[in-house]
Amino acid sequence: MTLRISVIGTGYLGATHAACLAELGFDVLGVDRSAAKVDALSRGLVPFHEPGLDELVAGHTASGRLRFTTDLAEAAAFADVHFICVGTPQQSQGTAADLTAVFDVAAGLAPHLRHSTVVIGKSTVPVGTAAELAATLRARLPLGVEAEVAWNPEFLREGHAVQDTLRPDRLVFGVTSPGAELVLREIYAAAIERGTPVHVTDLATAELAKVAANAFLATKISFINAMAEISDRAGADVVALADVLGDDARIGRRFLDAGIGFGGGCLPKDIRALAARAAELGAPSIRALLEDVDDINLRARDRAADLAAAMCGGDLDGRRVALLGAAFKPLSDDVRDSPALHVAAALRRRGADVRVFDPAAANNARAVAPELTYVAHVDAALHDADLVVLATDWPELVALDPGRAGALVRSRRILDGRNKLDEEAWTAAGWAFRALGRAAAP
Ligand code: UGA
């Protein structure tokens, strides 16, 4: 019989996971406390931008294999297995993760369970959460019903979420019994058959695997941004440096692009939550390491604003700036903790007239930064600009033609905030070209 699965929490992670499980042939019920989200998804509409997801959700809701509800009792009655995919945002006071939603799900689900089950956590949580969650569940289960907690972290990237979910590069099964491992092996049978490596671990290691992976990626980016700071002081070129480092197979070239740094809903909050957890666990020097990673990252945004001012003769007052990109990364409409918007706001505070263009994120950006001016076409941003700043490396922005752009602006000055533009081509077209880490310190 086909396994019936509930996926609780239908944000980026949950909606993608639910749709991909349906694609794999399971009967899936997505659960969210937001009636608006459930309503949209039930009609086959995805409330955010994720390539390929619309088709999956539309197809599987139409076929009935994928349904959505706000009701945890319905999920308890329907499913053999439950995934927890709710958000764990940064606490409003402090830097630790807010686990309210995760514990609310456990407490809300447990009393409705009528048969023994596995509750599989996917949310990113501080190490130690799963064990606590198991205790919360146990305390509320009806007599004779058992629920094992397992942890199965997700490594999907926004913009590649469907592909990363259907074709993961590794699987982590944090379990406390062979039974839970078997359930996870059944769910991921297709990927396992293709040879995807499976790591069967204890709960703590599985929880930490996710956080550690994100902390490592963040550290890698901050490391190259630290080298960008050194390069600016020493007259070196951080892009050439990254190419050299990247040819060492032990280091690798990916996530070595210096620029205005990382943002989004994951990396910044995850390093802060790990820092807080490290301190709780009595490891203050680990907190210090992660705080330095955070500081270097945030400093890159300020350095970009300083460089922009320097390029305009030290004064941005009244200068028109074309800010290209608002999303925290290309192929996404997500503006959470976006370095691009941070830079835009900093330039505006210094008196610049900033026009922001983004191929997909303008609406979301307007909601969080309504004080900025948004334009619907890149040409409208470039028109009469005194300075162009590439802030998000959307392929179409990286591919801008320097000659055509040059005809629209007032002054040919460009700051490559992502180190992705072809410096030679821009310089040849008469542009003053600057970038962080390319001997361009203000
Ligand atoms: C990240 C991880 O890459 C995923 O593996 C993880 O599953 C996900 O968080 C999560 O926890 O859910 P994501 O936030 O989608 O994924 O974004 P990334 O592709 O990792 O990019 C993060 C940020 O780093 C972006 O702002 C990007 O512009 C920046 N970045 C990336 C750099 O500044 N330099 C680089 O070389 C690479």
- Residue 369, phi-psi category: left (phi > 0), alpha (psi -120 to 50), beta (remainder): beta
> Could you identify the atom of ligand 1 that is nearest to the CA of residue 124?
11
88 is in an annotated binding site: yes
For residue 329, the model assigns a pLDDT of 96
- State the virtual CA torsion across 384, 422, 427, 425 in degrees, nearest 10: -100
Element (H, E) at 238: helix 238-246
> Could you identify the atom of ligand 1 that is nearest to the CA of residue 392?
28
Mutate to test the pocket of ligand 1, among 170, 207, 329 (most ligand atoms within 8 A of CB): 329
Residue 242 CA, ligand 1 centroid: distance in Å: 18
Q: Which residue intervals of the chain bear CATH 3.40.50.720? A: 4-200, 214-435
Instruction: State the greatest distance between any 2 C-alpha atoms of the chain, in Å, as a whole number.
Output: 77
Whose Cα sits closest to atom 8 in ligand 1?
A: 157
Terminal-residue alpha carbon distance, the chain: 66
Residue 121 CA, ligand 1 centroid: distance in Å: 21
Distance CA 38, CA 11 (A): 11
For residue 442, the model assigns a pLDDT of 41
Q: Is the CB of 123 under 6 A from ligand 1?
A: no
32 is in an annotated binding site: yes
Distance CA 240, CA 261 (A): 18
* Owner of token pair 């514990």: 103
* Owner of token pair 């659960």: 31
Q: How many angstroms from the chain centroid is the CA of residue 441?
A: 29
* Amino acid identity, position 92: S
Q: Is the CB of 148 under 6 A from ligand 1?
A: no
For residue 412, the model assigns a pLDDT of 98
For residue 441, the model assigns a pLDDT of 41
Distance CA 317, CA 442 (A): 17
Mutate to test the pocket of ligand 1, among 219, 262, 394 (most ligand atoms within 8 A of CB): 262
pTM across the whole model: 0.95
Main-chain dihedrals φ then ψ at residue 147, nearest 5 degrees: -135, 120
User: Measuring CA to CA, which residue among 200, 441, 189 is closest to residue 300?
Assistant: 441
Query: C-alpha angle with apex 231: 228 to 237, nearest 5 degrees?
Result: 90
- Residue 52, phi-psi category: left (phi > 0), alpha (psi -120 to 50), beta (remainder): left
Q: Give the number of other Cβ atoms within 10 Å of residue 401's Cβ.
A: 10
Q: Is the CB of 328 under 6 A from ligand 1?
A: yes
For residue 1, the model assigns a pLDDT of 73
State the 10-residue block means of pLDDT for the chain, 442 residues long: 94 97 98 97 93 96 97 97 96 92 97 96 96 96 96 94 96 97 98 98 98 98 98 96 98 98 96 96 97 98 98 97 97 95 98 97 97 97 98 98 98 98 97 90 41
> Could you identify the atom of ligand 1 that is nearest to the CA of residue 339?
26
Distance CA 100, CA 307 (A): 41
Residue 358 CA, ligand 1 centroid: distance in Å: 18
| Superfamily of domain covering 4-200 | NAD(P)-binding Rossmann-like Domain (3.40.50.720)
Whose Cα sits closest to atom 35 in ligand 1?
A: 255
* Amino acid identity, position 352: A
Q: Is the CB of 263 under 6 A from ligand 1?
A: yes
Strands, E assignment, 127-218: 147-151, 171-174, 198-201
Whose Cα sits closest to atom 29 in ligand 1?
A: 262
Whose Cα sits closest to atom 1 in ligand 1?
A: 157
Instruction: Quick: pLDDT tens for 227-285.
Output: 999 999 999 999 999 999 999 999 999 999 999 999 999 999 999 999 999 999 999 99
Strands, E assignment, 49-196: 66-69, 81-84, 117-121, 147-151, 171-174
For residue 407, the model assigns a pLDDT of 98
Give 367: exposed, middle or buried? Use CB within 10 Å, 0-12, 13-18, 19+: exposed
For residue 439, the model assigns a pLDDT of 75
Q: Is the CB of 12 under 6 A from ligand 1?
A: no
For residue 366, the model assigns a pLDDT of 97
Whose Cα sits closest to atom 3 in ligand 1?
A: 157
Q: Give the number of other Cβ atoms within 10 Å of residue 58's Cβ.
A: 16
> Could you identify the atom of ligand 1 that is nearest to the CA of residue 12?
12
Strands, E assignment, 181-281: 198-201
For residue 382, the model assigns a pLDDT of 98
Distance CA 156, CA 162 (A): 8
User: Measuring CA to CA, which residue among 231, 261, 229 is closest to residue 244?
Assistant: 231
Q: How is residue 62 written in tokens?
A: 């139409």
Residue 76 CA, ligand 1 centroid: distance in Å: 34
Q: Give the number of other Cβ atoms within 10 Å of residue 115's Cβ.
A: 13
Residues near 34 by beta carbon (within 8 Å), at least 6 away in sequence = 70
Q: Is the CB of 262 under 6 A from ligand 1?
A: yes
User: Measuring CA to CA, which residue among 166, 69, 72 is closest to residue 119?
Assistant: 72
Fold of 214-435: Rossmann fold (3.40.50)
Give 388: exposed, middle or buried? Use CB within 10 Å, 0-12, 13-18, 19+: buried
**Which sequence positions are flagged as catalytic?**
266
Residue 330 CA, ligand 1 centroid: distance in Å: 10
